Every structure is written in C-alpha cells, then in structure tokens.
Structure 1
Amino acid sequence: MTQQTPTAEVSDTPRPGTSRALVCLVGGLFATLLGVLPSAWLGTERFTCPKNVLFHAAALATAVACLAWGRRWTLDAVDLSLGVFAGLSLLSALAVAANPWLTLVSTGVTLSGSMLFLCTRPLAENGRREAILLAVVLVAGLLALTVLLEAYGPLKGLSTRRAPGGTLGHRNRAAHLLVLSLPVTWLCLTRARRRPMLAVLLACAMLTGAAVTLTRSRAAWLALLVLGLGMGVAWGLAWHAADATRRRRTAGFIVALLGGVGVALVMPNTLEWRGSYGDSLRRIGEYEAGSGQGRLVQYGNTLRMIVDAPLLGVGPGNWPVHYPRYTTRGDPSYNVDAVVPVGSVPQSDWMGFLAERGLPAMLALALVAGLLLAESWKRARNEAGPEWGSEALALTAVLAGLLVMGGVDTVLLTTEGMFFVAVMVGALARAQREQVVIVPGVARRRAAMVLVVLLTGGPLVYGAVRGWARHLVFLEPQTAERLERASRLDPGGSEARLFLGSMKARAGQCEEARAILREARNLFPYSEAPLKIWSQCARSRRDLAREAPLPVQ
C-alpha cells in the first residue's frame, strides 16, 4: 500500500494568496537570468551588477510575499539542514573573515538563495509546482536562444571574452544551467496536456541541445553524459511500466535534444574555435595539461587552505584573499603581476565551500542533498504514482548533474546559478515529515519581514554601489577623479585603490600613494600588487610592510 509522506497544507489547487509570491519568484528568475544592461550604461559590469541586484531584490520580494500569506509554516529535515548550513556560513563570516566586503557579497548569495528555496517549497506544495517548473523550462529555453543568437550573428559581441554565453555573458555558466534544466524539460513534456505546449517544450529541448553543444563547456558535457546515462538506465528499467503516451514523449524529447546537437554540429556559426568538437570531446577528462591540470594544482593548494582552517574556513568570499599564501610555482590560477592575481571564486563549488565555510558547513550542505536523494529513492521504491516517480527521477538527475559540475566548476557560488538551482530543486523536492511547525502571529510575521529586509538589503545596496564603482574604474579614459569617486563609493574596491595608487606613485605623490596602497593591502593583505606599485616611489618593499603589517589571523 502506498504511503504518502505527511505534510501540511498541501493542495493541488493554487491558493489565491500565493499569486503575489509566485509573480515575485518567477518574475525575478526571468529578470535575473535574461536581464542585461547596454555596455554604454554599465561597461564591464553590465552582466554581473544587474543580476546581483535583481537576485537579492527577488529574494526580498518573494520572502516578504510568502510571509504575508503564510499562516502556518512547517519545516522538515531538509529545511533545517539548509538552515544549519546558512547559520554556519554566517558564523564564519562574523568570526574569521579578513575582508568583510567580500564576505557580505558571498554570504548574501547564500542567505538570499536559502530564502528562495524555502519560499519555493511551500509555493509548490500549495498548487504552484507546475507553474514554477514550466517557468524554469521557459527561462532556460530563452537563455539557450540568446546563446544561439550570439553564436550565429544577431547578438555577436554580446559577451566578448566568454562567448557564446548569451545573457549570462559566460559560456560555461550558461551551459551549466541549460544542462540542469533538461530533466525538468523532460518532466514537463511528459505532463503537458495541450499540443501548443508540447511544441514549445520540444523547441526548448532542441534549443538547449544546440546551445550546450556550441558552448563547448566540458564540465557541462561531462555532467550531461552522467545525467543522460543515469536517466537512461532508470527509464529503461521502468519502460515497461510507463504508458504509451509517456514513452512517445520521452522518445520525442530525445529526438529533439539530439536534433539540436546535430544542427549545432553542421550549421556554420560565427565562433572562432580553433579545434573541432571531437577535440573538445576527447579532452573532456584531460588532467595532464591545460585547464584540467590547472584545476588540479588549484585544488591541491586549496586543500592546504582547508587543512589550516577546517572548522570555519577562511570566511565566505575570502578564498581569493588567502590563496596567494598557498600558491605554488607554475600555478596557472595565480598571476603575480596582475592587479587581481587570482579569480574571485575557485574552480569548484565544493572546494570553495570547504575552504571558505569549513567542514561542518559542507557536511550540512551534503546532508541536504542526501535527504533529498533518500526521499527520491523512497518515492521510486514505494511507487507513489507516475507523477511522483517522474519528479523523483528528475530531482535525482538534477542533483547528479550538480554534483559533477560543482566538482569541476562553480554553479552555487554564482548568483544566477544559486537562483536557478534554488527554484528548480525547491519545486521538485516534495515535503518530508514535519520537524518544526510555526504558527506566527501578525507581530512575528512583521518581525520576520524586517529580518528579511535586513539580510537582503545590505547585499542588494552594496551590489548596486559596487557595480557602479567598478564601472567608473574601468571606464576609458581612466582618470584620477573617477578612481577617487570609485574608492569613496566602494570601501571594498581594491582595483580602484591600486590604479589610483599607481597613478599617484607615477606622479611622485608618494605620501598620498602610500595611504591609498595601505588601504588596498588591508583588503588583500597577501597580494604583491601594492608592494610593487609602491616600489615606483623608490622605497623598499620592507617600508610598506613595516608601516602596514599583515592582519593577525
């Protein structure tokens, strides 16, 4: 006999009060993933700045709207484990982080993403699951379309360095999200009731197949192979139990996906790749040279950082602050001569979380995934019905793909990746057994809304200010006036201080340069750039080290 997991206030009929929260959630998802400002408006920050602001704004609006209609809140083991992860991240931020501004950015992504996940689950349980999943597929289809338009000419030049990335501006990040969307596309396709919707979903599958192929993202390709193999085996075992309609639509999904791949392979594009697609496929597991070897070097150095700070890490967002201490000779991730010697995030979600948050936080996050997988396995074994079984398969596939890509690239450490995964997994994850029940009164709901504003407002405001300051820094021609304004706007902006200090040093204004470079070195105490710039004033490196000692760890 099938036993359904108990949950509170579950309904297949949408509750009227959820409409506003759904609009905030879905509207924020579309705006964050597809919104791009013209280059003339925000220069190099036209991709990251508006997405950061929209992400936190969507989390704020959705959380407040959910608190407004919710009268009874239930938390299961998944919610509590995620709360532990967010709490440990906040503890690490307050206790050990050396650069508080990077911490504000990184912790804000975690807290806003957690809010979106916790809001998506009750919305899905109250009749909005289908709408949310459909929105995930449609936004992925539109993202794939922008990738193709960039690759084939109409949007050429949209992302200059990481093409074709479409409205994300980065081909790897676009490919990650598109691959993760495929299980949801299949799920919605098997449930569609109208022919026009079937056509739209098949088109999304074809667009996604073509776009993922054109990105040549090896992490996404590897995840797609793992995901496809796992889903194929699982579906093959259950093929006899599926009805004829479900089998036909699954076959149609595969044909559409492969059709998109075929079109991408044979249709000429404007991309200037040097090697063939076969070369990229053969290098999918490369680790003895190229980027694969660079990742292994970075992982080894990051592992030493983890060993030195296993409990709370070095603080959210502070991996680039400490990485120069652990770099080794020949490390391609580190450029000692660059103003910013290392990237803002490591080349792995899991290494990043371990290094920045510590082992206990990583275990809490792993527990979230473990609980979701265990529930999916239980639903599949208990045969809770074809609908729940398909959801379990889709959720398992998403988590498997995320596990692979998070091991070799970053997904959850980016705002768009966190938003997309939080909404998608939140909609697929059915409620488990209640652990905590909260029935807040009006006063407590208002207090919770104030807390939401405080947690999301800081990262939202700072993200907007930081984006404008970085726009001023990289605006040509570079002037001292703009650099000074950027330094005043962004107290965590090291680039503005380094460029301004260099300008002052070349002009012989050494006292002003020293004060500015000291501020930059306090933000990144292990960077060589301030010392090298200071040497232009014919002073020894030891002078700056003596006047601005490294912070005590």
Structure 2
Amino acid sequence: MSEVHPGLTPDGIYPTPTGPRPAERLALRVLQLGAVLVVLTVSTYKMFELDRFFVPKELVLHLTGLAAGVLTLGAIRRIRGTRVDVLLLAFLLLSAVSALLAANVWLAMRAVAVTASGLAVFWAARGVREAGLARPLLTALAAAVVLGAATSLAQTYGVRTDLFSMNRAPGGTLGNRNFIAHLAAFGLPLVLLSALRAWRGAGYAIGGIGVALVTASLVLTRSRAAWLAFGAVVIVFGFSMLVSRPLRRNGRTWLRGAGILLIAGGGVAAAITLPNTLRWNSDNPYLESVKGVANYQEGSGRGRLIQYGRSLRMGLHHPVLGVGPGNWAVRYPEYAARRDPSLDPNTEGATSNPWPSSDWVAVAAERGFVAFGVLLLAMAGWAIGGVHRLIRARDADEALSAAALLATLVAANVAGAFDAVLLLALPSLLVWATLGALWAPDPEGRQAVSLPVRRIALLVAALAAGAGAARSGAQLAGMGLFASGGTASMRRAASIDPGNFRVQLRLARAGGRRAERCEHARAAHALYPNHEEARRLSARCPKVKP
C-alpha cells in the first residue's frame, strides 16, 4: 500500500470533520445498486427495439437520482458550491425553459429528466465523497463497467437470451455494440484506477482481469468513436505519469501499469483470434475499422458531416433556446439535405435515429448556443481543476484520482463528439457519478453558492428525477399494453402514455370510429409534424374548431 499524506484520506481527499452519517451510507448503497442495475435492466418488449433498453435504464437512473438526492440533502452542507455548480444549474434551467417551448413536449420532458437525474447523481456522489465514501462508490462503478463488458462478451461467444438484441451485436444488455463501446471507453479509467491503487495483490489481479475484459469488448465492437476515446484515455494516463511528480517517482505504479498493459494486450489478442459468433461483412474487419477511423469522405463519416452541418443550421435558426431537448428527430427533416443518410429510407419525414450522432451537436441544436457555452465552461472547469490537482498531488493515490477524472472526462467528450453518450441514461448515471466521486474543488476556493441555494438545486433535481421516474414507469406500462395486442389495450396504452407516437399512429390507422381515429391522428401529427403518414392521416380529418 502506498503512503498517504497525513492530511488526506486513502481516497486522496481531505477528510470531513465527522464521519459518514446513516443517510450518506444509504445514499452510497443506492448509487452502488443503481450502477449495477442500470447495466442489467432490460425489458423484453421486442416491438420497441430501442426503448426496451432505454426506458428501463432511464427508470433506474431517475430512481437513483431521486433516492440518492433526497438522502444527501443533509450532506450538501459538506459540499462547497463552486462556479461549476452554478454553470450546471444554469444549464438545467436553460434546458427546462427550452423544453417548455418544444414542439414535442413529451420528448423534451424525457430529455430534461435525464439531465436532471444526472445532476442529482453528481451532487449526491459529491456528498458521498465528502463523507469519505468515495472508494467503495468508485469500486462499484468500475464493477458495473466490467459487468457490462461481460454481457457483451457473453453475446459474442454464443449466449442467446431475450435480454440481448441481435440487430446490433455484441451489445449485451445495452442492446447496441456502440453503447457497449462507449461504456468501455469512459469506464476504462475507473477500472484502471481500481487496479493501480489496489491495496492487495488480489485486488490488482482482479482489476487487471477487468481491464482485459473491458478492452476486449471495446475491440470487438468496432466502434471508431470509442476507439478514439480509448486512445485519448491512454494519452491522458501517459501524460499524467510524466507530469505528476508522485507518479513519476512511484515504482509500484509503473510496475503495475506495465503488468496491466501485458494483460490488456493478451485480452485483445484473445478477442481477435478466438472464434466467435459475430458476422462481419469483411475478411479483416478490425483492420478495416482501424483504417476507417478518420475517413469522412464516405460511409458513416460522410453522413455525420452532413448531419452536423444541417443540425447546426437548425441551431442557428433557434440560437437562444434551440428546438427543444430531445426534439432533434422531430425537427431535423425540415433541415435535411436531399438523400440525407440520417433520414429513414423507409419512412418519409422521419430520421433513422432519435438523436444526432453527437452530444455536442445535440446540445447546440436542441438547447441553444447559450446552453452549449454554459456546459462547455463547466467541462473546462473540471478539466482545469483536474490538471491543477494532478500537478499539485501530494501522493500517488491523489494523482491517480486526478488522472482518472481527466481521462473519464476526455473519453466521454471524445466519444460524445461522434455519438450519443450523455444523452442516454446509462452513461449519464455512470459518468456523472464518477465525476462527483473524483472531483475535488480547490479547498481554498471561494464559496460561489450559498447553502440554501445548493439544497434547493439538489431538491429540484431530485424532484425532476422523480417526475422522470413516473414518466418512465408510464412508458413501460404503455409498452406492455401495446405488446399484449388488441385495440382496447392500445387505447389504455395511449391514455397512460400519450407521448407514445407508435401507439397514437397505430390507433390512427385502426382505432374504431372515425372520430376516434382522427383524435389519435391529430395526436400523432402533433408529436411528429413532419412524419408523412401522420400528416396524411391528420389531413383527412375535419379541422377542429378553436
């Protein structure tokens, strides 16, 4: 075990005057359980191939944010309010105002709830950290990352279950290989941290195996965005080893790092050479993916450039508040190019995916450039604070914590520059919890937010998480009724979940009497005004008098 500075806990943080309270210990358990459940929770309603993965995980995120947020309301006094907290609160408020003006309020509420729950998890994790419980939280988060990678590898090597999707293998319980890849990329710093600073040899061995599993799953996904994020993680840790004096002089860290490189290399070699059930359309798919990492002349790379340009044009038309959180898919057909690859080729006026291929493009287009700038400043605040802590670290453990913070932040943003990451529930829970558990503001810094404001902010985020949980529960109930079949069940589904476009469109086609069909046609058209079939069905109906 490495030496710890007398003024610091083994987690590399300044201790609090008193030990953790029962509520804070319970908040730790909630966050630990949430991290595991958000990886494993899936529904089997195969008619909803995307939402059967998204909605249950959103429910876990919201319940975790609600419970952990309420439990740490008392611990908020331990947390010093910083400028970053002010920026995060401003981002949430701007998102909420934007949602009120969105065309599809249901999608907007859903997206804002994910943001609010993520912030509740962040502030709760900070409270847990300040109570001296960061280490067990980080261990659980790392275990959740390894668990997700293990489900992907299980699918790769032949496990078949309704909890997996065959369309985007090997996605495991995340349902999509790209999502597993993102998890592996932004989760790798946590697993590395657990291995490098393990107290015992057994912990190091377990951490090393975890790194091998995560790296192997990352390679098998062939996700170019995640591979770029992985490269960024390696660069950040290499930079940290050279810049931090305690790490440069710590022989154990160098020795353990070399051992992990060998173990990870073995995992990659096994992943490439062992026979598996994946069916790629290439004789050498992994080399092909490596060659295509920076290819934006054709294929998905070119499609991204087209999408980014048109999405930013959308943002320029709504620069202050955007088109509304979650409303990119609602409005994008209005701005799409001819033969735009982001549009669904089988459905006129609809996109192939419900989100753009970039977190940052989504924020600019959906929430406006003001929110974009506010979030960018918050990220910069974390990065600058992490670098300062890395340089000023008093021991190897504190320096490794700072390196893991920077690597997680960089990986999430690199992957999020090319794919949807923090727009989704699982990354939101794991990334926000990681940032909260690792971020250490300057203890000499000025208090930027008063205690009452901090408590109100956490309470508002927790209540928004509760509203999100109610919404996700209604979505799950509606999905179950729809899957059971029958017009009566679909009517109940529409009443429980009025924002379900698929249910409204089905009832508009065959909902009984004409008046009833028209009611659902108008509802479907209001949700997606550019969807050709919804527009056509609604146009057949008599206009409603104001």
TM-score (norm 1): 0.88
Quick check: 1:243 aligned with 2:229? no
Q: Percent identity?
A: 33
Flag the 1:116–1:255 CA change in 2: closer, same or farther, 3 A.
Answer: same
Greater CA drift, 28-37 or 48-57: 28-37
Deviation at residue 36 of structure 1 after TM alignment? 2.7
Report SS of the residue matched to 1:487: helix
Shift in CA distance, 209/231, structure 1 to aligned 2, threshold 3 Å: same
Deviations 1:489-548 (A, max 9, x none): 2111111111222235xx8x54443332111111212221213446xxxxxx5x66x837
Aligned residue identity for 1:52: E
Letter in 2 for 1:106: A
Could you tell me which residue of structure 2 aligns to residue 299 of structure 1?
308
2:362 equivalent in structure 1: 352
Letter of the 1:269 partner, please give it: N
Residue 255, structure 1, aligned to residue 265, structure 2:
no
Instruction: Give SS of 2:307's match.
Output: helix
Question: Structure 1, residues 261-298: CA drift from partner, whole Å, max 9, x if none?
Answer: 11100001011111221112111222122111111111
Q: Does 1:525 align with 2:532?
A: no
Question: What RMSD over aligned residues (CA atoms) do the two structures have, in Å?
Answer: 3.0
Distance 1:417 1:93 in 2: 22
Query: Match for residue 139 of structure 2?
Result: 134
Match in the other structure for 1:264: 271
Among residues 468, 473, 476, which one is paired with 1:464 in the alignment? 473
Distance 1:388 1:364, change over 3 A: same
Partners of 1:32 and 1:416 within 8 A in 2 = yes
Note if contact 2:240-2:390 (Cα within 8 Å) is conserved in structure 1: no
* 1:388 equivalent in alignment to 2:393: no
- Give the Cα–Cα distance (whole angstroms) in 2 for the partners of residues 462 and 292 of structure 1: 35
Q: CA deviation at 1:411?
A: 0.6
Amino acid at match of 2:263: A
1:337 CA drift (Å): 4.3
Partner of 1:112: 117
* Among candidates 93, 96, 99, match of residue 99 of structure 2: 93
1:112-141 CA deviation, whole Å, 9 max, x = no partner?
101111111121122111112111211111
**1:236 Cα deviation from its structure 2 partner:** 4.5
2:520 counterpart of 1:516: yes
Cα displacement (A) at 1:336? 6.3
Q: 1:547 aligns with which of 535, 543, 546?
A: 543
Note if 1:499 corresponds to 2:509.
Answer: no
Match runs of 1:432-443 below 5 Å: 432=442, 433-436=445-448, 438-439=450-451
Q: Decide which of 358, 361, 371 is 2:371's aligned counterpart.
A: 361
Q: Distance in 2 between matches of 1:518 and 1:41?
A: 23
Match of 1:218 among 221, 224, 243: 224
In 2, the alpha carbon distance for the partners of 1:8 and 1:26 equals 20
- SS state of the match for residue 347, structure 2? coil
- The question of whether the paired residues in 1 share the 8 Å contact of 2:79 and 2:130 is answered with no
Distance 1:21 1:322, change over 3 A: same
| CA positional deviation for 1:449 | 8.3
> Structure 1 residues 65, 36: CA separation in 2 closer, same or farther (over 3 Å shift)?
same
Q: Secondary structure at the match of 1:358?
A: helix
Which moved further from structure 2: 179-188 or 151-160?
A: 151-160
CA gap of 1:156–1:236, structure 2 versus 1, over 3 A, is farther
Residues 1:90 and 1:396: Cα distance change in structure 2 (over 3 Å): same
CA distance in 2, matches of 1:9, 1:230: 24
The match for 2:127 among 113, 122, 125 is 122
1:480 corresponds, among 487, 491, 494, to 487
* Letter matched to residue 435 of structure 1: Q
Question: Secondary structure, in 3 states, of the residue corresponding to 1:86?
Answer: helix
2:150 to 133, 145, 164: 145
**Structure 1 gaps, min length 5:** 535-540
Pairing 1:206–2:212 present: yes
Number of the residue aligned with 1:537: none
Partner of 1:227: 233
Residue 439 (structure 2) aligns with: 429
Would the alpha carbon gap of residues 42 and 230 (structure 1) be closer, same or farther in structure 2, given more than 3 Å must change? closer
Alpha-carbon separation, structure 2, partners of 1:56 and 1:134 = 21
Matches of 2:251 and 2:65 in 1, distance apart? Answer: 41
For residues 517 and 221 of structure 2, the distance between their equivalents in structure 1, rounded to whole angstroms, comes to: 43
**Once the 2 structures are TM-superposed, how far is the Cα of residue 235 of structure 1 from its aligned partner?**
2.5
Greater CA drift, 82-91 or 375-384? 375-384
**Change in 2 beyond 3 A, CA 1:237/1:529:** same
**Could you give the per-residue CA deviations for residues 413-435 of structure 1, whole angstroms, max 9, x where no partner exists?**
00111111101111111123242
**TM-score normalised by the chain length of structure 2:** 0.89
Aligned equivalent of 2:464: 455
Question: Do the aligned partners of 1:59 and 1:112 also contact (CA within 8 Å) in 2?
Answer: yes
| 2:498 aligned partner, one-letter code | P
- Match for 1:547: what amino acid? K
Question: CA, structure 1 residues 454+136, in 2 after alignment: closer, same or farther (shift >3 Å)?
Answer: closer
What runs of 5+ residues in structure 2 fail to find an aligned partner?
Answer: none
| Alignment-derived partner of residue 177 in structure 1 | 183
Q: Distance in 2 between matches of 1:390 and 1:9?
A: 15
Whether the 8 Å contact between 1:223 and 1:405 is mirrored in structure 2 is yes
Shift of 1:472: 3.5
Which is further off, 405-414 or 192-201? 192-201
The structure 2 residue matched to 1:56, chosen from 58, 62, 65, is 62
Aligned length: 530
Q: Return the offset for 1:467.
A: 2.3
Q: CA deviation at 1:357?
A: 0.9
Report the counterpart of residue 538 of structure 1 in structure 2.
none
Q: Does the 8 Å contact 1:411/1:417 carry over to 2?
A: yes
Q: Please identify, of 454-463 and 237-246, the stretch whose mean Cα deviation from structure 2 is larger.
A: 237-246
Structure 1 range deviating more: 380-389 or 49-58: 380-389
Shift in alpha-carbon separation, 1:48–1:164, aligned structure 2, 3 A: same
Query: 1:72, CA displacement in angstroms?
Result: 4.8
Aligned residue number for residue 327 of structure 1: 336
Contact 2:518–2:537 under 8 Å retained in 1: no
